[in-house]
Amino acid sequence: MKELDREAHDADAADPLASFRDLFAGAETELVYFDGNSLGRPLAATAGTLSDFVRDAWGGRLIRGWDESWMQLPFTLGDRLGASVLGAAAGQTVVGDSTTVLLYKLVRAAFDAQRAADPARREIVVDRDNFPTDRYIVEAIAGERSGAVRWLTPDPAGGVEPDELSAAIGSETAVVVLSHVAYRSGHLADAAELTRRAHAAGALVVWDLCHSAGVVPTELDAWGVDIAVGCTYKYLGGGPGSPAFAYVATRHHEALHQPIPGWMSADDVFAMGADYRPAAGMRRFLSGTPPIVGMLALGDMLDMIERAGIAAIRAKSEALTAFAVRVSDVLLAPLGVSLATPREPERRGGHVTLSHPAMREVTTRLWREDVLPDFRFPDGLRIGLSPLSTSFRETLTGLRAVADALR
């Protein structure tokens, strides 16, 4: 087993991003964090950002803060996300609401626009393994708009593949809703190809980027993506309940009408006029007052991502998941653990899922020992490896604890 220790040591020594780990609060402890794909660790600097905000911005500028910067923050942060993480030119990304709410607003807007253009398009396509929120929203929209759901049933240890999608779409498809990285298996969808297939059938695609934003680069503009949403509290480190982001390609802005119009999405916010007219650009997808306090940590994390570069983050992510698979093959496979994630690094996102019937009990025990993975029904232990805050040594220590717990 000395071999694995040496590999972890050498990988940390060669890691160009290793020093970023020291910037996270709590990284100096022995705790092993395998859940940065559910809630990223905070940056130590964010404590200062928050207290400065209370004292100087909120406390000092008071209501003037809205005019001076807060009204623009959802768009400036959105543009930074677009440039550093999403592959989106400015003016197409906004931060606000939750992923659930943005998915609802945008899937419904896309459905209505498609249906208005062609009444035969009444189906929304989604997969049975998609995140619950995505499935519930698709079912709700189909119900309230007299549409229908068409289900895909991908391999639970994989995800939606282009041919499976092609077989399910056609002249009745309005919208396709897919996750870029499957939350259970970690499967990385071929978003460019799936988008191309959907467009060939006349459908629009809404991508859920929750498990890829900040760890797997996307090229939303180059791939011709229509709409995407994602959360900021996972790999983007925005903190518990930080708001989500939405991307809508410029070519769709005019035609999309979201179902929760509010004063913040009106064309002249402070005119407070009698009739609602949607704003031009991404503002039309907001509803009410944006959650400014909830966006502050995201700004700090974007500073880091801009410095590190998303390509380097992805390279380390692939190395970390490959190391986790290697350790699992050596230490856990002999104990009956199987890999429920694609084996090729380029076909998965930032986490690895390990299956064994005892994983629920294993998780409970590990949490007591300050080793924090998470459990996903029915028998999956998710090992989330956040590249800026996770070391190879930490990965080895945590997987050894899994082996001990199983024994």
Chain residues that interact with ligand PLP, rule: CB under 6 A: 98-100, 131, 133-134, 179, 183, 208, 210-211, 231, 244
300 is catalytic: no
DSSP state of 189: P
| CA atoms within 13 Å, Cβ hemisphere of 159 | 23
234 is catalytic: yes
Q: How far is the CB of 160 from ligand PLP (least distance, A)?
A: 13
The one-letter amino acid code at 21 reads R
404 is catalytic: no
Nearer to ligand PLP, 40 or 147 (CB): 40
Q: Under a CB-based contact definition with an 8 Å cutoff, are residues 122 and 166 in contact?
A: no
25 phi/psi in degrees, rounded to 5: -65, 135
Nearer to ligand PLP, 88 or 103 (CB): 103
From 33, 111, 233, 392, active-site residue? 233
From 21, 382, 392, 400, active-site residue? 382
Measuring CA to CA, how many Å separate 282 from each of 3, 14, 165, 228, 404? 52, 42, 29, 13, 51
Q: 265: which 2 tokens?
A: 């999405």
Nearer to ligand PLP, 123 or 129 (CB): 129
State the Cα–Cα distance between residues 187 and 127, nearest whole angstrom.
13
State the Cα–Cα distance between residues 208 and 197, nearest whole angstrom.
17
Strand partners, 187: 348
From 33, 131, 183, 323, active-site residue? 131
Nearer to ligand PLP, 179 or 328 (CB): 179
Nearer to ligand PLP, 176 or 396 (CB): 176
Q: What is the 3-state secondary structure (H, E, C) of 293-336?
A: HHHHHHHHHHHHHHHHCHHHHHHHHHHHHHHHHHHHHHHHHHHC
Q: How far is the CB of 167 from ligand PLP (least distance, A)?
A: 23
Q: How far is the CB of 182 from ligand PLP (least distance, A)?
A: 8
Measuring CA to CA, how many Å separate 50 from each of 55, 79, 242, 323, 357? 9, 22, 14, 36, 43
Q: How far is the CB of 362 from ligand PLP (least distance, A)?
A: 22
Q: How far is the CB of 211 from ligand PLP (least distance, A)?
A: 5
* Nearest by Cα to 335 from 318, 360, 358, 367: 358
DSSP state of 40: P
2 is catalytic: no
Q: How far is the CB of 213 from ligand PLP (least distance, A)?
A: 10
Q: Under a CB-based contact definition with an 8 Å cutoff, are residues 76 and 337 in contact?
A: no
The secondary structure of 83-120 as a DSSP string is IIII---TTSEEE-S-HHHHHHHHHHHHHHHHHHH-TT
393 is catalytic: no
Nearer to ligand PLP, 190 or 404 (CB): 190
From 234, 283, 284, 348, active-site residue? 234
Nearer to ligand PLP, 112 or 134 (CB): 134
Q: How far is the CB of 233 from ligand PLP (least distance, A)?
A: 7
> Which residues are part of the catalytic machinery?
131, 208, 233-234, 382
